[in-house]
């Protein structure tokens, strides 16, 4: 039996919709996401199938690096105090805000929060 090239993009999405109530394994196989072993046993490649579906839907799961160097971690909006007592914000946040080296911040402390306000930036409610 010859194996067709696996479907991708809109062709993949249309075929999956067309297959309706089949199991995800049957859908993956019908869309070409399987291999045959030397003994003739078919193996469905679910990871490739699911990744192709994610790509076809245009969902970006990987963080993209917009400069040189490594991609680094994506922003999780959670940080921990380091063993030396420092809080490291990280480049994922500064890049997202478009900050440059030398940008300054005012620090105000509350009972259970630390507020950073960029010096010279308008308040959020003023925008």
Strands (E), the chain: 34-36, 42-44, 105-109, 114-118
pTM, two decimal places: 0.47
Rounded Cα distance between 36 and 126, Å, is: 63
* pLDDT greater than 60 at residue 109: yes
**Residue pair 85/94 in contact by the 8 Å Cβ criterion:** no
121-124, long-range: CB < 8 A, 24+ apart: none
Q: Mind listing the pLDDT tens digit for each residue in 56-108?
A: 887 776 655 554 555 555 556 777 888 888 888 877 788 888 888 888 999 99
CA-CA-CA-CA torsion sign (55, 61, 66, 72): negative
Tokens of 49: 């199938």
Q: Give strand pairing partners of 77.
A: none
28 close to 44: Cβ distance less than 8 angstroms: yes
């Amino acid at each position: 039996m010859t194996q067709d090239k696996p479907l991708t993009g809109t062709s993949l999405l249309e075929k999956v919709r067309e297959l309706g109530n089949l199991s995800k394994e049957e859908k993956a196989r019908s869309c070409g996401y399987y291999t045959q072993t030397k003994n003739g046993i078919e193996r469905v490649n679910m990871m490739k199938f699911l990744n192709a579906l994610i790509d076809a839907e245009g969902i970006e799961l990987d963080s993209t690096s917009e400069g040189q160097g490594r991609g680094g971690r994506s922003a999780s909006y959670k940080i921990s105090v380091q063993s030396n007592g420092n809080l490291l914000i990280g480049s994922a946040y500064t890049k997202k805000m478009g900050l440059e080296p030398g940008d300054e911040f005012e620090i105000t402390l509350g009972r259970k929060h630390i507020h950073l306000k960029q010096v010279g930036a308008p308040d959020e409610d003023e925008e």
